[in-house]
């Protein structure tokens, strides 16, 4: 026996769920899971509970696509997971229904666009890193201890200053100082 379940979400407690509630009731949802959580959050317990209740033949309905997914890629991953389990997906605002061939086509187009976007981002990142390397810049966090600080550390160690004091004077963490001293000791060997 198939069921129509709804999921609605708002980002803050000051937002009202009534518009989504009414739309999901009109769509025939027999049960609705409600969540107050940022769309960017990975931990959404109500959504996880809903996904656990869905069975083959059921339909998951949302008011709008952005209520379900954190990003386009997350949305596509979620809907593909539903399809693999035999669960249909409907978005009321965008009129997408994966139980129909037309709705499935639209969703597949979204998936292709997301994959294209990921490839473009990766391509731009690689090109940007290559351009930076050509200009002599390398990525990563700048070194906490430059040559001047290294000399200062050596002088303070030779003067017998405590390591805690050296770290405080130079504005570096003790762990950073100990790593530096350890690397200097291994370089001396």
Q: How many helices (H) and strands (E) does the chain have?
A: 7, 5
Lookup: tokens for 164: 């805690």
Alpha-carbon dihedral 60, 87, 119, 136, rounded to 10 degrees:
70
Of the residues 11, 38, 100, 182, which is catalytic?
Answer: 11
The neighbour count for residue 171, using CB atoms within 10 Å, is 9
User: Is 11 a catalytic site residue?
Assistant: yes
136 in helix, strand or coil? coil
Length of the chain measured in residues:
189
Instruction: Evaluate whether 6 touches 68 at the Cβ level (below 8 Å).
Output: no
Q: Which position has the token pair 């000791």?
A: 185
- The SS3 of residue 89 is strand
**What letter does residue 37 receive in the DSSP assignment?**
-
Q: Which residues are catalytic?
A: 11
């Amino acid at each position: 026996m198939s069921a129509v379940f709804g999921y609605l979400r708002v980002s803050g407690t000051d937002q009202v769920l009534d518009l989504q509630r009414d739309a999901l009731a009109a769509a025939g949802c027999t049960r609705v899971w409600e969540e107050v959580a940022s769309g960017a959050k990975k931990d959404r317990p109500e959504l996880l509970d809903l996904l656990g209740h869905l069975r083959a033949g059921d339909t998951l309905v949302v008011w709008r696509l952005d209520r379900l997914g954190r990003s386009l890629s997350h949305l596509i991953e979620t809907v593909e997971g539903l399809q693999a389990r035999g669960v249909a997906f409907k978005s009321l605002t965008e009129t997408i229904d994966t139980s129909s061939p037309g709705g499935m086509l639209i969703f597949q187009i979204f998936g292709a666009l997301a994959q294209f976007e990921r490839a473009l981002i990766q391509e731009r990142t690689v090109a940007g890193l290559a351009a930076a390397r050509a200009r002599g810049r390398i990525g990563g966090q700048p070194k906490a201890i430059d040559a001047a600080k290294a000399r200062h550390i050596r002088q303070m160690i030779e003067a017998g200053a405590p390591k805690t004091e050296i770290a405080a004077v130079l504005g570096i963490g003790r762990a950073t100082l100990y790593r530096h001293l350890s690397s200097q000791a291994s370089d001396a060997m």
